Structure 1
Amino acid sequence: MLVTAGILSWTQASAQRSSIGVKGGYLHVMNTSTISIIPGSTDCGTFRDGTSAGLFAGLTGEYALLGDVLEATAAIVYSLRPATLVEPSNDNFEVLDPTTNSYVPLQREHTFTSSLGYVAVELGLRSRPFAEIPVYIRASFDAGNAIVDGTYSQTERIVSPESVLFPNDRKTRTTGSGEIVGLGTAYGVGGAIGGVLPLGANLELCPEVGYRLGLNSLISTDSWKQSMISGGIQLRYRFGGDEAEPPALPPEPPRERDTTPPPIVTITPDPLPVPPVVITSVSTTPLEIRETVVTQTYPLLPYVFFDSASATLPNKYVTTENTATFSEVNLPKKTLPIYYRMFDIIGKRMADNPSAVLIVTGTTDGREDIRQRDDLARRRAEAVVDRIAQRWNLPRSRFVIRTVDKPTFPTSDRYLEGIEENRRVELSSATSALLAPVVHTRFKEYVPIVTEHTFSVSTENPALANQWDMVVSREAQELDRFWRGPLCPLTIKFLCFSA
């Protein structure tokens, strides 16, 4: 009964008062995602969790349903919800480390950053159940779109080895940027607790902390949710009520006459400046660098193997992937998976080279039924031609079918494996591009011609120096640092390493 009476008296005293206001503050944005590092493929990993700092500002309005005990709230809020997602990758690719002259794993770090400017509509309820306690709670639901900003940037940085650079001669390069694909409406629910600090009969200052839970993915292409912890403040004006007049200030007492004598100021002249220690010049001979271009290639094995007495293509050579989206760039960086996609590789290259002709030679192992060998070899060759021609819509006039009883250069038939390898179809062409290796990676290595470099140094007032140091850098990246003291030497030797 006491609690009920207190709430009723508080409702009657506060009346049905509406309010408007403004609010703003800080956001701690928590991102949870499975965004693919390479769009459309998870072979190279995904970006996962990450946190970032944002802010929000908006216009608010409240309508009293039961005085301050229960108010309906609405707001239009702009929020900056950035994201910084960092994911290391090690895809077992090795490069030559010039510092050790050995092949070591290439370790990279992928960074996804975005700047999302959302405009959202927020609806909810606010309650301050006890007049004696200036604390309220608030629950809300929001929906918004990134209509102010929805861009991203994705970079890739070489972590190890230190001496390897990308083809742009840097350790970092941009792999993607622009508008974020698939952005939609973001929904969320939240809860908050705040305090009420009266600034007058109609004005209130309300500090508040809260938590928002993201209900759905921000994008349709991958899973990406944002939840946030907020801390902010609201200034609101409440309609109705009279402003109480402040009490009159008491009269100021008469001031007594100051009879204290003025202080005596003594001016001390500034000491003479100490002459600076100046490095007047640093000279050296030109540094010669040898550039080497390195590529990662996967040769194609131009053979298609068949089972004994069979002209049916094994399932390992058959794929249902749409040819419209096929690209050698998206192939796995492994020899065997690339070999099994040989039909698509050759078909795409024939489509890109309209004058190229593919020679398809069917063979047998020399032990199969002698009465059927020529027919078996031809059916094997035709099975390969049919697969490539039908899948890539190529005319059969671009294929030449040949048959032999046994390969011209057969594998030794002393072993079972050699007999199996002779049951094959051999592919050849006068156009070398059809059977050229698959090239996946291209980068540059730099090696100095002379590993020791000497700098000549000239200084003024060297005896006044306490310590000296020298930093050798390239494009704001520190390569080496030297400390000595106190006298600067006339020459400094620097060891150059490969990069």
Structure 2
Amino acid sequence: MGDNMKKIINLILIIFLAIISNLSAQNERVIPASLGLYAGININMHNPDFIYPINGNDISFNNTSTGFGGALGFTGFYQLSNMFVISGKLGYNGLGATLSSKEYEFDASLNYIEISPELQFHNLIPVKDLFLIGGLETGIQLSPKYSITNTNPKIENENISDAKFRIAGIVGLGYFLELTRGVYLTPELTYRLSFTDISNQSNLSSWSVPQIRLGVSLTFALTEPPEVTAQKPKYFNLGFKEVRYFDNQGNPRALDRIKVEEVKYTEQFPLVASVFNDENKVEPSNSSQFLYAKSDAGEFSISSLVPDALRINQSTLDIIGTRMLEYPDANLTLTGTIDNKAEAVNKDLSLQRAQFVKDYLVNNYKIAQERITVKGVGLPEKPSTLKDPDGIAENRRVEFSSSNPKILEPILIQKDNQTYADPNVIEFIPYAESSDSILEWKLSINQKGNEIRTFAGKGAPEVVDWVIIPNELVKSEVPIEYILWAKNENDIEKEVAGTVPVEFYTSTRKKTEDLPDKIIAKFSLILFDFDDDKISKNDMEIINRDIIPLIKFNSTVKIIGYTDRIGDENYNKGLAERRALSVRKYLESKVKTAKYEYRGAGETPALFDNDLPVGRQLSRTVQIEIISPR
């Protein structure tokens, strides 16, 4: 084939692919049986390799030659399934061309009756209405003739004897287009590889003709086509409805900046006296406990704990093990419990849970076995509600009690010049609208190129409450960047981002600008009985021993009550407010000159991950924040 013809063929292929590449994703179409006409342009690529005697000389014709011809006839198709459609053609196929030697031209007139059964493969390519074609072309020659120029005597319109029955394989692409209901236009591009030669005639015996055909068919349905339901357009929208915080009265406000300042900061973190288990499991769940002795994290140290209540309470066993070494006179009682639902048939499970905890402490902290007592019961003495799956999950646990209250006392972290954020609870309310189900999402919070926090989940994005812990933000005015990413079931991904300005105040800047410096102390009380607003005995000890001595005449005391997600939201908000009010009344009775603010937040915002039992336990809290001039 000549270079020009190759360029033409390549151009045709590029144009055809460019047209179909702009079409959208595949669909499944019901195609009624149809009949019609087809027409096409043939590019005939002759491959001769024969010697023909002319004027007593043997002339070799072995140069590939290309000719153009036409195709015209009848066509039809019948759908077998959403994937397979049988089609066929009956008509004329022109395969002529002019072959050349150095001195002569061999003009071949080759006309065939074509019979071509084909099979179309639909919905295999992710392009709407594009299909593959495979088939077999057969052809019967109609008076094939040839002429040779520059001969004496002249050779003209000679018959090609022993003409062969043509057989060729068909491969190609087609595009199905419905012009109107029941009328279809189908452009096709096919390649036909010849398996036979033109003739058995001795001096023409090695001569085959592959072919490229660019054709189109117009067909008409034989039966009433089914109604076509228009496909809904594909879409995937992702963003944020709001990024907000809550003011001192609990009202949501749009977040416009975060103020970060260096302060002397003290926080007392409660220690939940339980570790939690997955259903029918002996070992605490991975989300409940990170076991340092079974990891490569190195030696455990209470002084190295991050100031985050959830992460502290995921180290309960190692905290207790360390304190049991510090207080060798202390004894410990471990009480394993079950949910009395799915676990009711396993009577030994509660004792096995307690024994696992004992073995961990004995083997890894070398605690004398006689200092630890284990027992197994059914439900806990004060069970969580049995009417909610969250409550049932919380009843699968091991409870701790000790002869020495130091073993289970809260964790106190105190440092000078810690960064403290205001507001320190940010709520992200995302939205995701997709024509296809959303599989997963992730919210990343970054500052200065470093990832601060990541939240992730399955399905559509959920509301995220970010509780900013001390020193989580860098000492800089670099903005906070938040990035929301999601992916749907078609593996389409979307990402949106935003920023929040940061105002940073060092102790030096506050002195220079004559701004007030402050001391902040924060406490969390979590020992309220279920559905009760009375301050427990243990919490009263914390208030009298640790909180009241820090309240000065010029202190501002902020008291906020929270709950977990179990129960009615409005009821929870009222319960949280009653608990906060109980704490305020008691504190005010002891230090009357301070300024007190209180409110009930309820379950919004969620301070901790309520998908975790320990997160829900920590969420049932009254937080007390004491802000005093420095």
TM over 0.5, shorter chain: no
Higher relative contact order (CA 8 A, sep 6+): 1
User: Considering only CA atoms, is the larger Rg found in Structure 1 or Structure 2?
Assistant: 2
TM-score, normalization by structure 1: 0.31
TM-score, normalization by structure 2: 0.25
The structure in which a higher percent of residues are helix is: 2
